[in-house]
Structure 1
Amino acid sequence: MPSERNSPFRPSSRQESLLPQWSRDQGVGGRGATDDLEGRNDERLEGLVGRVKMLKDLSYGIGKEVRDSAVQFTEMNDAFAETGGILTGTFHRLNKMAKRQGGNWCWFIMFLVFVFWIFVVTWWWRR
């Protein structure tokens, strides 16, 4: 059984100090220097904690944006697929109607366009 003094789970008083052994033995860097070092470490730690929090929030925001975009793209894909199905059905019905009808419909449409054109020209002339 290891002794309590040299236990790896319980550091000795020498290991607890932040200052090197020679500075404690010679009286260099008293309590003020230790407090100064701890103060600097605390300031740096606060800065690091702030940066880590900022990066964490940024990565969370990016993840949320990616998830929202994926949902939106899925909805757009579904909408485009539905629209494609509707347009395909419409073109099939138009082709079927065009095959059933003879060439007379073409002449009828051309006549209507001609009459409409004459109406527009006379309306423009009288204005």
Structure 2
Amino acid sequence: MSQGRRPVRTYHHNSNYRDNRSALFTGAQSSGSSPAQLRTNSTKYPTNAHLDLESQNDDKIEGLTGKVKLLKEITLSIGESVKESNSLINSMSDEYSRTGDYLGGSINRLKTLATIQSNQFYVYFAFILFMMFIFLYFIFIR
């Protein structure tokens, strides 16, 4: 591939260029009438109705431009809000993870304590049963 410069396109903005383009289609047959065929030489220059329509178009373009700018601002603010929400969710997730680890450690310690306490409970329960047995023995036997 060559690394040379590309030619720059030039656009002709004169009326001869437009006339040459429209001359390409003069021999074409059409089944109906088009707005270009209805145009006569007297409508080359804008009329008051044409100027009114152009001003209405300009007003509508300005209105649409304002609406597009408003939509762009809303979209950007929504994007910022989403970024802030995502960072908040990520920080909350980290905090919940740390809290879960802390609670998991506490629950493991409680389980260990419960198993130790249950062993001690069985010892105390056996001791109380033994004492009741001795007490009942002395009451009923004597």
Residue pairs, 1:73-112, within 5 angstroms? 73-101=89-117, 102-103=120-121
Identity of aligned residues (%): 31
Give the Å deviation of 1:21: 8.2
Q: Distance in 2 between matches of 1:65 and 1:98?
A: 48
RMSD: 3.2
Distance in 2 (CA, whole Å) between partners of 1:21 and 1:37 is 20
- Within the candidate set 29, 35, 52, 2:51 is matched to 35
Give the gaps of 5 or more residues in structure 2.
1-8, 19-35, 126-142
> Which segment drifts farther, 72-81 or 94-103?
94-103
Unaligned regions of 5+ residues in structure 1, if any?
A: 1-6, 108-127
Aligned-partner residue type, residue 108 of structure 2: H
The letter for the 2-side match of 1:13 is: S
Rg bigger for which structure? 2
Please show how residues 3-18 of structure 1 align to structure 2 within 5 Å.
9-13=11-15, 15=18
Looking at structure 2, the residues matched to 59 and 51 of structure 1 have their Cα atoms a distance apart, in angstroms, of 12
Which of the pair has the greater relative contact order for Cα pairs under 8 Å at 6+ separation?
A: 1
Structure 1 residue runs of 4 or more that deviate by more than 3 Å after TM superposition: 20-24, 27-31
> What residue identity is the alignment partner of 1:32?
N
Q: Aligned match of 2:80 in 64, 72, 81?
A: 64
Q: Which amino acid aligns with 2:110?
A: L
Aligned mates of 1:27, 1:80 — CA distance in 2: 74
Number of residue pairs matched by the alignment: 98
